[in-house]
C-alpha cells in the first residue's frame, strides 16, 4: 500500500511536469496579453517597461524556466491583472467551487443510486420506465439551457430563489467560507448545484441500473436468497456491494470533471468560483492564472484518482494495490 502510494506520487510529479510544459506552451501560443492589458494610448517607453515588468520580454524557454523554478518553491507566478499570486487567487475561489461540486455530487449520488436501483429491480414497471426516460433528458439537455430555465422559472416567474451569486457565507471551522450553513446560503446554492448535478444524476442512474440488472442474474444473488436472507439484505448488501465498485470509480472520475467543468454553471449563475475566474482570466489572457488553474485541476484529478484506487481496494478484495504496477 505504502509502496503503491509512493510510486503513484512519483508518477504524479512527472504528470504535473509534462502538463505544465504543455499548458505553458499552449497558452503562449494563444495570444499576446500585452495587446489587451496595456492601454493602447501608452507610449513606447511605458509599453517596454510593462512588458519587462511582466517578464514577457524574455524568450519562451527562459520564461518557462523561470516559471519552473518558481513552481518548485510553490510560486506559480503573479496574475497580470490582479498583481497577486495566481495560486492564492485560485485557492481563494476554490471553496466556492468545491462547495458547489460537493453539493452537486451529493445530490447525484443520493438520488441516482436509489433511483437506479429501483429502475434495475423493476425494469418493466411504470416507475422504472419513467426514471429511465427522465435520465435521457438529464443526459441530453444542455447544462446552460437548463440553468437558464431554472432561473426563469424559480427566480423570474415564481421569485422563490435568487438567480445569482453565493449569498452570505459563514466560516466553516473558522477557515472555509461556505453557504450551506445558512438558509439564505442554501437558497443560493440549491439551483446551481441541481443544475450541475443533473448530468451526473442521469449517469449514475443508468450505471446503477445496469449494474443491478447484471448482478441480479448472478448465482450469488440466488444463493443469498436460497439462504433465506431478506430482500432488503440481498439488495442492500449482496447486490449493492458489487455494483458499488464501478460506481465509485465513475463518481471519482466524474467528481474531477464536475470541479473542472463547473465553469458553465458558474457562469450562468454568476457563482464566484474557480471556473468563473478561469473564464475571466482567459478573456484578458491572464497567463499565470490560466496555467495555475490547469495545474491545480490536474493535481485534483491525480488526488481523486489516488483516493478512488485506495477505495477500490477496500471495496473489492480481489484488488491488491501492492501488486499493481499501473
Give least dist CB 214 to another protein, A: 13
Q: Any contact of residue 1 with another protein (CB under 8 A)?
A: no
Identify the DSSP state of 82: T
- Give the number of residues in contact with another protein, rule: CB under 8 A: 22
Contact map string, positions 199 to 218, toward another protein, x by CB under 8 A: -------------------x
Q: Give the residue, chosen from 127, 181, 223, 279, that forms a contact with another protein under the rule CB under 8 A.
A: 223
User: What is the 3-class SS of 160-209, one letter each residue?
Assistant: CCCCCCCCCCEEECCCEEECCCCHHHHHHHHHHHHHHHHHHHHHHHHHHH
| Cα–Cα–Cα angle for 96, 167, 112, rounded to 5 degrees | 55
Judge whether 224 and 172 are in contact, CB under 8 Å. no
129 binds another protein (CB under 8 A): no
List the grid coordinates of 290.
490560466
Binding status of residue 50 toward another protein by CB under 8 A: no
- Report yes or no: 274 and 293 within 8 Å, Cβ to Cβ: yes
- Integer Cα distance of 207 and 243 in angstroms: 9
User: Does 318 interact with another protein (rule: CB under 8 A)?
Assistant: yes
- The CB-of-188 to another protein minimum distance in angstroms stands at 40
Which of 156, 228, 232, 323 forms a contact with another protein (CB under 8 A)? 228
- Asked if residue 238 binds another protein (CB under 8 A), the reply is yes
Q: Which residue has the cell 465513475?
A: 250
Q: Measured between alpha carbons, how far is 190 from 30 in angstroms, rounded to an integer? A: 36
222 binds another protein (CB under 8 A): yes
Give just the sign of the alpha carbon dihedral 170, 108, 317, 15. Answer: negative
Interacting residue with another protein among 135, 179, 242, 281 (CB under 8 A): 242
Tell me how many degrees the CA angle 307-267-94 measures, rounded to the nearest 5: 35
224 scored as a contact of another protein (CB under 8 A):
yes
Which residue, 219 or 323, has its beta carbon nearer to another protein? 219
Smallest distance from another protein to CB 219, Å = 4
Residue of 114, 172, 227, 270 that binds another protein (CB under 8 A): 227
Strands, E assignment, the chain: 170-172, 176-178
225 sits near another protein (criterion: CB under 8 A): yes
Nearer Cβ to another protein (35/219)? 219
Contact footprint for another protein (CB under 8 A): 218-220, 222-230, 233, 237-238, 241-242, 245, 315-318
Amino acid at each position: 500500500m505504502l509502496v503503491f502510494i509512493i510510486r503513484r506520487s512519483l508518477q504524479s510529479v512527472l504528470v504535473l511536469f509534462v502538463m505544465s510544459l504543455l499548458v505553458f506552451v499552449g497558452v503562449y501560443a494563444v495570444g499576446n496579453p500585452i495587446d489587451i492589458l496595456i492601454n493602447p494610448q501608452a507610449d513606447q517607453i511605458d509599453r517596454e517597461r510593462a512588458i519587462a515588468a511582466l517578464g514577457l520580454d524574455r524568450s519562451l524557454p527562459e520564461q518557462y524556466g523561470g516559471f519552473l523554478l518558481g513552481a518548485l518553491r510553490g510560486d506559480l507566478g503573479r496574475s497580470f491583472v490582479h498583481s497577486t499570486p495566481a495560486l492564492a487567487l485560485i485557492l481563494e475561489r476554490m471553496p466556492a467551487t468545491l462547495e458547489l461540486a460537493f453539493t452537486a455530487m451529493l445530490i447525484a449520488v443520493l438520488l441516482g443510486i436509489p433511483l437506479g436501483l429501483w429502475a434495475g429491480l423493476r425494469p418493466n414497471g411504470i416507475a422504472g420506465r419513467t426514471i429511465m426516460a427522465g435520465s435521457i433528458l438529464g443526459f441530453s439537455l444542455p447544462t446552460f439551457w437548463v440553468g437558464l430555465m431554472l432561473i426563469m422559472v424559480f427566480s423570474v416567474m415564481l421569485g422563490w430563489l435568487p438567480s445569482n451569486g453565493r449569498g452570505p457565507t459563514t466560516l466553516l471551522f473558522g477557515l472555509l467560507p461556505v453557504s450551506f450553513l445558512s438558509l439564505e446560503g442554501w437558497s443560493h446554492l440549491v439551483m446551481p448545484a441541481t443544475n450541475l448535478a443533473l448530468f451526473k444524476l442521469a449517469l449514475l442512474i443508468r450505471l446503477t441500473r445496469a449494474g443491478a440488472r447484471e448482478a441480479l442474474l448472478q448465482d450469488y444473488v440466488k444463493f443469498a436468497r436460497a439462504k433465506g436472507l431478506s430482500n432488503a439484505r440481498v439488495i442492500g448488501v449482496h447486490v449493492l456491494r458489487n455494483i458499488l465498485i464501478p460506481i465509485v470509480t465513475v463518481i471519482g472520475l466524474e467528481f474531477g470533471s464536475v470541479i473542472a467543468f463547473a465553469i458553465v454553471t458558474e457562469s450562468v449563475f454568476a457563482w464566484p468560483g474557480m471556473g468563473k475566474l478561469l473564464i475571466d482570466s482567459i478573456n484578458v489572457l491572464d497567463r499565470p492564472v490560466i496555467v495555475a488553474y490547469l495545474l491545480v485541476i490536474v493535481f485534483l484529478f491525480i488526488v481523486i484518482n489516488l483516493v478512488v484506487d485506495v477505495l477500490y481496494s477496500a471495496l473489492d478484495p480481489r484488488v491488491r494495490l501492492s501488486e499493481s504496477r499501473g
